[in-house]
Amino acid sequence: MFTDRIELTFDAGHRQLYYQGKCESPHGHTFKAEILVSSDRVDRMGFVVDFVELKNRVGRWIDENWDHAFLINQQDNELLQALNSLTQKKIFILDGNPSAENMAKYLYDYVNTLYGDLLSKVVIWESPIQYAEYSR
């Protein structure tokens, strides 16, 4: 089995709604996303997927949607109202808390629309020592 992996970093803010602790306060991270695609064969160029294509397609989506955005639980009306009062803002609303787990699943579902069965795993690093992953 061949596996290709790309890594993309982005900065975003979030908070965990209803969490009892520090993470209920709005804060930010430099996140790292890893995308892994796998196949038992390569194309005529010797690739599972061209790294440049994979990085550009997924990187563009992250840049447009998550980089320098505030990721918000759709039920977080208080934070959404506060952010909407700003003239400059970038908001991305998720169905549930913007945990690393939910982010990994969300990104997996998006990348799956691009690469289908080639996609094997998405990993979201919230810090250098902790991550969540979602795989098929």
Phi-psi map region of 46: left, alpha, beta (phi>0 left; psi -120 to 50 alpha): left
> pLDDT tens-digit profile of 11-66?
999 999 999 999 999 999 999 999 999 999 999 999 999 999 999 999 999 999 99
Q: What is the CATH number of the domain that holds 120?
A: 3.30.479.10
Regarding pTM above 0.75, the answer is yes
CB atoms within 10 A of CB 94: 17
Q: Which residues are catalytic?
A: 23, 68, 126
Q: Which of 46, 38, 52 is nearest to 4 (CA)?
A: 38
Domain span at residue 16 reads 2-135
The whole-number pLDDT of residue 136 equals 82
Count: domains in the chain:
1
CB atoms within 10 A of CB 122: 24
> pLDDT tens-digit profile of 70-100?
999 999 999 999 999 999 999 999 999 999 9
Number of continuous H segments (helices) and E segments (strands) in the chain = 3, 6
